[in-house]
């Protein structure tokens, strides 16, 4: 990614993009004249998320395909971009696969013997002196074994910290998604409320229309109105049922939280870290 600006101060730097579904992060070298489309094409190659399924968000703003990053004051050190996979946002979509954690294998050192590691005191006549090489070999073995355990522990700590940071990214992405859902739900609720108010008024008015119909046409109009009323009442009933299900799902979404708090996990990791370091 390169700039197409030829003069003036150009905002350049690292554009940090977080993947919502797995917490992975990428740093892109770009400037304010880079198009969002170019960013998405690059993200497709590194993240594997298809171009058509990408949704980029920054501070609750959707990054439009044809816009330059300057529209969103990017790149910036205090602004991060989150990439949502629209294919994962469908209700019937399967969850992402389990995280593949690389286990670093640091084997224990082999136990050496006098035949492989001779010592000048192996042939000493004094039993006390002759035992010293064995003690030294055991000490070296225990030292290297402990060092291997220490290195494995450090590797696991690094893995835990990386996964912890990825989980914090996912938590932030979830909060962004919650805010977006809340915004659109309020719009739907407002439109639904207006519709129901208008529908109730119209329904009450139509119930009294028979007072203005000629007697000879009354029965025909009653039959037609009743049929129309049943049809629209069925549609409204279906609409209310769908909205009720949406409302329940939204309330469930905002009432549910993760089974553990990120802060508690962070404290636990710090409490146990001193045992090793």
pLDDT at position 7 is 39
Beta-carbon count within 10 A of 31 CB: 20
End residue of a domain, out of 41, 56, 89? 89
Any domain includes 232: yes
Q: Give the torsion sign (CA, 79, 83, 89, 93).
A: negative
Per-residue model confidence as pLDDT tens digits over 51-104: 999 999 998 899 999 999 999 999 988 889 999 999 988 888 888 888 888 878
For the ranges 8-22, 100-114, 174-188, 255-269, which has the lowest average pLDDT? 255-269
pTM for the structure as a whole: 0.67
Give the Cα separation of 115 and 188 in Å (integer): 82
| CATH code (residue 24) | 3.10.20.90
Residue 109 backbone class (left: φ over 0; alpha: ψ -120 to 50; beta: rest): beta
Give the Cα separation of 25 and 40 in Å (integer): 14
User: Which residues form the domain of 45?
Assistant: 12-89
Query: DSSP state, 8?
Result: S
Any domain includes 197: yes
The secondary structure element, H or E, covering residue 139 is helix 127-207
Contact assessment for residue 79 and residue 58, using Cβ atoms and an 8 Å cutoff: yes
Here the tokens at position 55 are 């949704």
Give the Cα separation of 50 and 44 in Å (integer): 6
Of 102 and 6, the one with more pLDDT? 102
Section 262-277 average pLDDT: 76
Any domain includes 98: no
Residues of 161-175 as b/e, b for ≥16 C-beta within 10 angstroms? eeeeebbebbebbee
Give the Cα separation of 35 and 49 in Å (integer): 18
Q: Which distant-in-sequence residues (6+ apart) come within 8 Å of 114 by Cβ?
A: 122, 133, 134, 137
pLDDT at position 164 is 93
Query: DSSP state, 121?
Result: G
| pLDDT(12) > 80 | no
Confidence of residue 274 (pLDDT cuts 50, 70, 90): confident
Per-residue model confidence as pLDDT tens digits over 26-40: 999 999 999 999 999
Any domain includes 53: yes
End residue of a domain, out of 89, 121, 139? 89
Confidence of residue 210 (pLDDT cuts 50, 70, 90): low
3-state helix, strand, coil in the chain (%, to 5): 60, 10, 30
Reply yes or no: is the peptide bond before residue 75 cis, omega within 30 of 0: yes
End residue of a domain, out of 40, 67, 89? 89
Per-residue model confidence as pLDDT tens digits over 153-205: 999 899 899 999 999 999 999 999 888 889 889 999 999 999 999 988 887 77
CA dihedral 198, 199, 202, 205 (to 10 degrees): -110
Tallying the residues shown for the chain, one arrives at 277
pLDDT at position 271 is 80
Beta bridge partners of 270: none
Any domain includes 122: no
What percent of the chain is predicted at pLDDT more than 90?
A: 35
Here the tokens at position 9 are 């101060």
Confidence of residue 261 (pLDDT cuts 50, 70, 90): low
Of 57 and 218, the one with more pLDDT? 57
| pLDDT(253) > 80 | no
Beta-carbon count within 10 A of 45 CB: 8
Confidence of residue 265 (pLDDT cuts 50, 70, 90): confident
Any domain includes 69: yes
In order, the DSSP letters of 65-106 are TTSBGGGGT-SBTTB-EEEEEGGGGSTTPPPPPPP-PPPP--
Average pLDDT, the chain: 83
pLDDT at position 103 is 79
The number of distinct structural domains making up the chain is 2
pLDDT at position 52 is 95
Here the tokens at position 249 are 């799902």
């Amino acid at each position: 990614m390169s700039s197409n600006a030829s003069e003036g101060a150009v905002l350049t730097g690292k554009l940090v993009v977080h993947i919502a579904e797995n917490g992975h992060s990428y740093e892109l070298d770009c400037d304010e004249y880079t198009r969002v489309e170019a960013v998405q094409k690059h993200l497709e190659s590194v993240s594997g998320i298809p171009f058509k399924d990408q949704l980029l968000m920054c501070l609750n703003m959707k990054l439009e395909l044809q816009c330059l990053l300057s529209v969103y004051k990017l790149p910036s050190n205090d602004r991060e971009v989150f990439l949502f996979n629209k294919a994962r946002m469908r209700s019937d979509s399967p969850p992402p696969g389990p995280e593949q954690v690389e286990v670093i294998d640091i084997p224990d050192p082999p136990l050496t013997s006098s035949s492989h590691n001779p010592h000048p005191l192996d042939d000493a006549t004094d039993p006390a002196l002759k035992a010293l090489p064995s003690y030294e070999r055991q000490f070296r073995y225990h030292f290297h074994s402990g060092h291997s355990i220490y290195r494995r522990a450090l590797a696991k700590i690094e893995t835990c910290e990386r996964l912890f940071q990825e989980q914090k990214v996912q938590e932030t992405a979830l909060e962004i998604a919650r805010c977006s859902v809340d915004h659109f739900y309020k719009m739907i609720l407002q439109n639904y409320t207006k519709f129901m108010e208008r529908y109730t008024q119209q329904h009450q008015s139509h119930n009294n229309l028979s007072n203005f119909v000629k007697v000879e046409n009354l029965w025909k109009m009653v039959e037609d109105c009743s049929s129309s009323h049943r049809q629209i009442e069925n549609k409204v009933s279906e609409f209310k049922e769908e909205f009720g299900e949406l409302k329940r799902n939204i309330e469930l979404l905002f009432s549910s939280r993760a089974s553990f708090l990120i802060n508690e996990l962070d404290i636990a990791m710090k409490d146990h870290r001193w045992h090793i370091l």
